[in-house]
Amino acid sequence: MATAYVFDLDGYEFPRGDVPARGPFVEFSPQRWSEQDVLGTAAPGTILTMIGTQSQRWTFVSHAVTATKDKLLAVYNGQVAVTLKTPQNTTGFSVIMTRLVIQYAEPIENGKFLCEFELMAR
């Protein structure tokens, strides 16, 4: 089995079996590229967009116990920046959860929930 790495999201340390990544991941500052996000429409056929630098994003999949699933729901529903501590960055950095998908209302094998979530650096 892979080495256990400590991940801490908003003061909640992921249990060994729920760890969303199997090793340190790459952190970098935003580059000089842009992404268009649709902000709304002003008239039929008109789309308003904002162009600018996008923050780094990470997508994680976790086979989560009930406590982990509940913490992910709390962070997502709060929609505020929280601290993510990783194996290589134990002081942590600010992230916001932009997407959370819990596949099933009932746990799958071993009493765990299949959770996919996306964190974006703030």
Question: What's the pLDDT at 105?
Answer: 83
CA distance 59 to 115: 11
The predicted structure's pLDDT at residue 91: 85
Non-local CB neighbours of 10 within 8 Å, separated by 6+ positions: 71, 75, 82, 83, 84
Residue 48 bridge partners (DSSP): 40
Q: What is the pLDDT of residue 33?
A: 46
pLDDT value for 74: 94
List the domain boundaries for the chain.
1-19+60-122
Model pLDDT, residue 53: 63
Cα 12 to Cα 22, 30, 70, 103, 122, distances in angstroms? 17, 27, 11, 21, 19
Mean pLDDT, each 10-residue run in order, the chain (122 residues): 72 86 71 52 59 76 90 91 86 88 86 90 80
pLDDT of residue 69: 92
**Whole-prediction pTM:** 0.74
